[in-house]
Homo-oligomer: A and B are copies of this chain.
């Protein structure tokens, strides 16, 4: 009993877990608005929204292509059975489930399981929380929304064109018209690297090239030399990339260059898109065109993706073509908040104050009228509030952000 009393009077921290956040009403409105714009854009163009569990079996997760993310998995302790604790036990053996760290691995499992019930090609999108045990820092969370769109089962560049146009349209609707799509092709990049005699070093060259934005041409060159690549070869590689960018895709004789040019032509009719031969994108699973969308105003990547034709190899022998793209949902939210973005078409927020239970019906009729006109009508009780305090009450609702306050008499 003493212990129980101790627990009853114990006071707990009110903070959410480290790296996670509570969503206040105003932020929730914005998040719902952004989700709705993305959702309606995607749905009207024939994409199907799907959902998978937050949890996946741990074996699938720890044996995936997640790269860096594998170190960031939240693992869930087995329940019920007696756990064996020994000095040498592997923590993974104590766990049977894990929180998903992205939406791509779950999508691949989902598609492998449900493909007979899905359209072919399957145009899909997901918006949901993913979890990564990152060291918390500004703009980086342990639980955050990913917003993915994918076409599975189309091996033509039609898939790339559709994905790019659909995502660019959603972003334009959210006020990000001043954006540039940058595009490259992993296979083209490989051809260039091979021509520079660096075939053996493709992966490590990619890792350095990926930093071009941050450290510049000279920085990349120095890093390549540090990695044991000769000054001459590094110079040759960077020169051919720069040349290719200035001379354009038609200067390079490759089927991949021709396809990129076709994508750029089709997408370029409506959006700003440019070939960026040094674009790498981190994830190892891309197999063809890769792209990202950069906000000109913020000089920051707000979406990215590419073709990944080995989606299903974890589940079956057959390979299935797939193109996907991800909008940086939390970044979009942050930018819109920084901009002081106002959700368009919002009605008024009206507080209706009722002093007697007998007046409730009248208040409800009034509320209904406001609601039918597209406003928010919230009825509150002022039963028992003395008449000379009512104006103070009215002011408190105004101060809380209500546009109108009506006292029903």
Contact = CB atoms under 8 A, between A and B. Distances in A.
A376 B46 contact: yes
Given A77-B94, A91-B83, A381-B154, A314 B12 contact: yes
A262 B357 contact: yes
Interface in A78-107: 79-80, 83, 85-87, 89, 91, 94-95, 97, 99
Contacts of A43: 376
A22 interface: yes
A117 to B, nearest CB: 6
Contacts of A24: 50, 114, 117-118
A121 interface: yes
Given A12-B59, A22-B110, A57-B13, A32 B49 contact: yes
Nearest to A63: B7
B314 A156 contact: no
Interface string A122-144: 01100001010100000000110
Contacts of A51: 22-23, 28, 31
The binding surface of chain A is classed by DSSP as: mixed
A136 to B, nearest CB: 12
A77 B63 CA distance: 18
Given A50-B24, A91-B83, A349-B46, A56 B17 contact: yes
Given A63-B7, A378-B46, A315 B14 contact: yes
Contact of A121 (B79, B124, B361, B380): B380
A48 to B, nearest CB: 4
Interface string A45-63: 1111111111111011001
Interface string A370-403: 0100011111110110000000000010001100
Nearest to A151: B380
Interface residues of A, number: 106
A266 interface: yes
A25 interface: yes
A21 interface: yes
A213 interface: no
The copy count of this chain in the complex is 2
A77 to B, nearest CB: 5
Given A75-B77, A76-B76, A158-B381, A14 B57 contact: no
A396 B56 CA distance: 33
Given A24-B114, A44-B377, A143-B54, A383 B161 contact: no
Interface in A1-47: 7-8, 10-17, 20-25, 28-29, 31-32, 39, 43-47
A384 B156 CA distance: 10
Contacts of A158: 354, 357, 380-381, 383
Interface string A323-338: 0000000000000000
Interface of A: 7-8, 10-17, 20-25, 28-29, 31-32, 39, 43-57, 59-60, 63, 74-77, 79-80, 83, 85-87, 89, 91, 94-95, 97, 99, 109-110, 112-114, 117-121, 123-124, 129, 131, 133, 142-143, 154, 156, 158, 161-162, 165, 262, 266, 269, 313-316, 349, 351, 354, 357, 360-361, 364, 367, 371, 375-381, 383-384, 396, 400-401
7 contacts: A17-B56, A23-B50, A25-B119, A44-B375, A54-B131, A74-B76, A158-B383
Given A25-B48, A156-B381, A158-B383, 12 more contacts: A12-B314, A12-B315, A14-B315, A16-B113, A20-B53, A23-B51, A25-B50, A25-B124, A55-B131, A123-B378, A158-B380, A161-B360
Shortest 8 CB-CB contacts between residues of A and residues of B: A46-B378, A158-B381, A25-B48, A14-B113, A20-B53, A23-B51, A85-B85, A14-B112
